[in-house]
Chains A and B, each alone.
Chain A
């Protein structure tokens, strides 16, 4: 490396330099490595498997790392009917996920209870966890899930990461 050279235009290294803000860079890293927590509860989980498989290939969006541990996940995809019996488990798994975290409610059941208007079914997972994107369909096409993921990515890219960390006093910046 040319340690002594002065900063400025250098035609030899021009292609390797990207000028951006720290916020934008951090958001870009985050948005392209959203690790999903597959909360597969019913038939939507089968479509979720298709999303992960080669034809639809969620790894094109950096999200192929399906983690079955909430500690290592960023985005919980609630795929299926949430019963009241399961609700406390879903909530606990969401609570165990590290910040920042996002939630996709996949399909009619996870979004609203769907066709299960009965004593046994939670009428939408947003009763217990905050949902970022709702996907319609029964079950949704894999493309719809990918679209939801892209919407999550667009949302992440708009978030001022560094400002949020500073505001929450999670990051110490030495005063110059």
Chain B
């Protein structure tokens, strides 16, 4: 069975909740319009043979609503095909059901997403931070968190300081140019402050 057939099977089951499968560079994605249904979709996906949860990612579309997109990469090991299920979550809610009862491997993926992006997974039995320490007050992969970090201090546990960026971040260019042109340099987007990689973050 191909990835498109898997996607169409899910669409046939859930109907309007699932978008038409889109293809980009040979990879199939579907969108789920209601994040509350992600558990049911994943349970069905596993029952039709998508037996391996490769990863759970999250995207911060800062400045737009809904802000978060949570992405599930599902794989069928026998046929070696993979599909992607995306679902949008609003910033006010920042919560969606855990798929841990379907794939146990979701445990750490969801903890990582919670730690670095601040999206909670309803029903997760142990939703602690996994990379940063308990008590760290921020979610560092959010777009409005500066690359250099923010100063924190938790006595006896850990501290952080603001990293000197020295005019950075230093960014390379895509590989089509020669080595001198794509060498890491300060490349501040037009209209952005130095030290910020995203011009949407500049306060007007």
B161, CB-defined interface residue at 8 Å: yes
Report the Cα distance A118→B148, complex, angstroms: 5
Q: Is B159 in the interface zone, CB < 8 Å from A? A: yes
Distance (whole angstroms) from the CB of B140 to the closest CB of chain A? 5
- Give the size category of A's interface with B: 10 to 19
- Pairwise interchain contact A118-B149, C-beta atoms closer than 8 A: yes
Neighbour of A119 across the interface among B150, B156, B169, CB < 8 A: B150
Which B residues are CB-close (under 8 A) to A84? Answer: 158-160
Of the residues B132, B156, B158, B163, contact of A118 by C-beta under 8 Å = B163
CB neighbours of A113 from chain B (8 A)? 163
Binary contact readout B166-194 vs A (1 if CB under 8 angstroms, 0 otherwise): 10110000000000000000000000000
A71 part of interface (Cβ distance < 8 Å): no
Q: How many residues of B contact A (CB 8 A)?
A: 22
In-complex Cβ contact of B147 among A85, A87, A88, A119 (8 A) = A119
Q: Tell me if A3 counts as interface (CB < 8 A to partner B).
A: no
Proximity bits, B6-47, A CB within 8 Å = 1, else 0: 000000000000000000000000000000000000000000
Residues of A within 8 A of B (CB): 84-85, 87-88, 113, 117-121, 123, 127
List the 5 closest A-B pairs by CB distance, nearest first: A119-B149, A84-B160, A119-B140, A117-B163, A84-B158
Chain B contact surface mostly: loop
B-side contacts of A120, CB under 8 Å = 131-132, 140, 149, 160
Please pick, from A88, A117, A118, the residue contacting B157 in the complex, using a CB distance under 8 A. Answer: A88
* Residues B157 and A119 in contact, CB atoms below 8 Å apart: no
Whether A87 lies near B159 (C-beta < 8 A) is yes
Question: Closest CB-CB distance, A119 to chain B, in whole Å?
Answer: 3
Residue on B with the closest CB to A88?
A: B158
Shortest Cβ distance from residue B116 to the other chain A in the assembled complex, whole angstroms:
10
**A85 touching B163 in the complex, CB below 8 Å, given contacts A117-B169, A119-B140, A119-B150:** no
Alpha-carbon separation in the docked complex, A102 to B36 (Å): 57
User: Using Cβ atoms and an 8 Å threshold, which residues of chain B touch A88?
Assistant: 156-158
Q: Are B132 and A123 in contact (CB under 8 A)?
A: no
Residues of chain A within 8 A of B140, CB atoms compared: 119-120
A87/B148 in contact, CB under 8 A: no
